[in-house]
Structure 1
């Protein structure tokens, strides 16, 4: 069985920017968009043009700056929204309008004060109108996660009939469990007439911490596109994390799934988005957090030093990080201490290492982390203690390294 390519739809510049306190200017958006194209994403959702003149202009400028990637603009199922989106995409080489409407009973009754029949009519009208501006039209069934499958199937059939090229099945409130979301995708693949003509897309939110898992189950059950953001940023608890879903595919060859993402650019892209948005990446964030490839436990450090795979399932170089980090704390052992000294050019024999380690522990108990400067101070203190106890210290310098032996 051949591998299946999954398209990556990045919505960092639209859904990601909806975080309170995150405001990107046009220059920053263009910079991120260019980086996303270089990263290898298939679709960039550049913004929601009707929302503000600034967003409209940003989408327009991104279209001029990006050459190969599909540029997508969001709209509601409202003619004015769609028209403005179409105008903003005027300079895009590969434009897409992303339009849609809420489909759950909750949205139909309370958000729109409408009926299922009228919602279907609005969905059809939106797709038909969008087709006047672009050929590539994506339809989103907002709150699809809580929409009854039979009605969802019906609305999908209708928008396919009138020209939708992609259908987005959002778990808008992040309420679905992975198996439940996967079954919903499978139901649509097996019951919607014409579903084979279009791309079925996941768009999962992280309210219960299941966005990536839900996207995975969606793809395993037939979805061909994943909508996600860099660092998992987005409304409320965020969206599916691009780096997580991409690396899941890469690390699990038995899934027979792959993307066009150049994973070696993941870390630098993550850093750029964090820098521009002002949204810091939590230290323990998978793949791109500062602790993702850092080890402070003595047992883990010893294992990683002997063979990286002992405690790392991902090679840090695969995501653009040079190497794993050995962080010296009170939990570190002699192996980690010797390793760090070796990196500084000091090779300690066992006797001297024991002496240095006893001093190191006293320092480590008082500090969260021992720095390279403090390691040199500890070495001087150990040397002083040796002389005080009338021991002889021999040093041999070879290739700019210091070999220390205690007699």
Structure 2
């Protein structure tokens, strides 16, 4: 049986009064982004990336717009070392991009890291050691002073080796497992490190506060961040960074609230890849800003391409429901949703094209390389008239009468239910033509001659086929279609009322065809529909009438 009693809260609240972040409404500007896909993300893969894949992935990250990219832990493995050397020796690092390397606060690892950096134009050297209560107690069995000394000694060695080599390096420190560290102690360690580095406006230091394992609700993490932000030494010369993981499923909210609380920088991965439940998903985080009208300074305008490349490099799968990036995140199968989306699309086109407010779609899918036909309105047995009508209108130029849309939606739902599959746009169009256009049956009109009468009525002489017999009939009407309808009724003893007639051009050209829609009401009150397509609008309307009769 599950036993919640064996768990207790492992986080520590800062002093009261660090909740000013709650007064902010939204993230007002993009943070500094640092991708850790090539280190933290790669470390979490079942099959780590090859050197060639890493180089390709690095170039994709540059193209997206990352200006800081953690490329590995060069002292941890020969592959990581060779990757960094390849970037340097092949001159693959753009001048406006800074690579970041990770090292534990241990002397031989730090020295190996500096060897790997030889010839690098600029870099961030990221040193860390764990400071949490649990790790001090169980793993290292060291006092607070001993743990702080590890951090300070590591910071000193970074400074010494940089001075010796003349490298253009900035420094970053992480109190690993920050979320399980007493806030006042984490502050003490970080300030001791900063005292060693003495950051300046020109050579800023990065203090990175990782949610190595999520232990609390996001508001607790935000209050911890605000406490650190307001009490760090040299704050104007410190870039306060976050590295949230996703153990509680709140990596994005941790990051957003952390930025409100004072963070300047985010370390994360595309689509949240990382150990256990992963790192913060930078795609979601950045697109959340975009959806609020804030430029994230990252380019996701070709999301399908990014997803494809990411999957090929990592062997991972972008889930179909992954926010913004998933194949189904904009898809509407529900009839009411489809109707609202279709009406919303028409509204912004005619009323407010400069602002996106379409129901159920937080952003315009075309902004990230998706399209409405394939990604938004999807037809299955749950779909309604709005979705079917929208596809036929936007893709094929058919503007069906509302009641005919309803009838067509039932036809599509029935076909989808029978096949147990989604219907693609071309299948819907074919189904429309098969069901309503030029429907063969008991009746057909072979030839019609019209005559204008003095009283403004029209006389139609109709040659028609009923069953296997051809006959002719003349009748009057208040228009051509009405006259033909009256002739058919008289010749074939048909009972119905002509209740709907609508037509429009299919293409805007001198040789365009016209389409006509006709609805007739049978004695039992039910409607029957037909459509006709022809360069001659009268012929199209007659064909639509005959199809509606045959569809009874």
Asked whether the two chains share a fold, i.e. TM above 0.5, the reply is yes
Partners of 2:209 and 2:445 in 1: CA distance? 73
Residue by residue over 1:333-365, the C-alpha shift from the partner in whole angstroms, topping out at 9 and shown as x without a partner, is 122112222344251533654553332222111
Higher relative contact order (CA 8 A, sep 6+): 1
2:450 is aligned to none
1:379 is aligned to 432
Given the superposition, is the C-alpha separation of residues 320 and 60 from structure 1 closer, same or farther in structure 2, using an over 3 Å criterion? farther
Task: Indicate which of 183, 186, 189 corresponds to 1:155.
Answer: 189
Q: How does 1:333-348 map to 2 (within 5 A)?
A: 333-345=384-396, 347=398
The answer for unaligned runs of 5 or more in structure 1 is: none
1:328 is aligned to 379
Indicate the SS of the match to 1:87: helix
2:507 is aligned to 398
Partners of 1:83 and 1:344 in 2: CA distance? 62
Q: How does 1:20-39 map to 2 (within 5 A)?
A: 20-39=45-64
For the Cα contact (< 8 Å) 2:45–2:314, is it kept in 1? no
Partners of 1:177 and 1:183 in 2: CA distance? 10
Which 4+ runs in 1 deviate beyond 6 A? 391-396
Shift of 1:278: 1.3
RMSD: 2.7
1:269 is aligned to 306
Partners of 1:337 and 1:389 in 2: CA distance? 29
Partners of 2:303 and 2:507 in 1: CA distance? 39
Shift of 1:192: 2.5
Partners of 1:379 and 1:220 in 2: CA distance? 53
Task: Indicate which of 299, 304, 307 corresponds to 2:341.
Answer: 304
Task: Indicate which of 404, 407, 410 corresponds to 1:358.
Answer: 410
Q: Does 1:313 align with 2:333?
A: no
Given the superposition, is the C-alpha separation of residues 16 and 402 from structure 1 closer, same or farther in structure 2, using an over 3 Å criterion? farther
Task: Indicate which of 130, 136, 139 corresponds to 2:173.
Answer: 139
Moved more, 303-312 or 337-346: 337-346
Given the superposition, is the C-alpha separation of residues 185 and 391 from structure 1 closer, same or farther in structure 2, using an over 3 Å criterion? farther
Given the superposition, is the C-alpha separation of residues 86 and 258 from structure 1 closer, same or farther in structure 2, using an over 3 Å criterion? farther
The answer for unaligned runs of 5 or more in structure 2 is: 1-23, 200-204, 346-357, 447-502, 518-529, 531-544, 546-552
For the Cα contact (< 8 Å) 2:36–2:71, is it kept in 1? yes
For the Cα contact (< 8 Å) 1:283–1:289, is it kept in 2? yes
Partners of 2:155 and 2:513 in 1: CA distance? 69
Given the superposition, is the C-alpha separation of residues 380 and 365 from structure 1 closer, same or farther in structure 2, using an over 3 Å criterion? same
Residue by residue over 1:284-320, the C-alpha shift from the partner in whole angstroms, topping out at 9 and shown as x without a partner, is 1101011122211111111112224211121223334
**What TM-score, normalized to structure 2?**
0.68
**What TM-score, normalized to structure 1?**
0.91
Given the superposition, is the C-alpha separation of residues 156 and 376 from structure 1 closer, same or farther in structure 2, using an over 3 Å criterion? same
Q: How does 1:211-290 map to 2 (within 5 A)?
A: 211-252=251-292, 259-290=296-327
2:70 is aligned to 45
Shift of 1:56: 1.0
More helix by share: 1
Instruction: Provide the aligned length of Structure 1 versus Structure 2.
Output: 404
Given the superposition, is the C-alpha separation of residues 352 and 103 from structure 1 closer, same or farther in structure 2, using an over 3 Å criterion? same
Indicate the SS of the match to 1:159: helix
Residue by residue over 1:361-406, the C-alpha shift from the partner in whole angstroms, topping out at 9 and shown as x without a partner, is 2211132311234324423431489322537799976357773533
For the Cα contact (< 8 Å) 2:397–2:506, is it kept in 1? no
Task: Indicate which of 92, 97, 104 corresponds to 1:65.
Answer: 92
Indicate the SS of the match to 2:440: helix
Shift of 1:93: 2.7
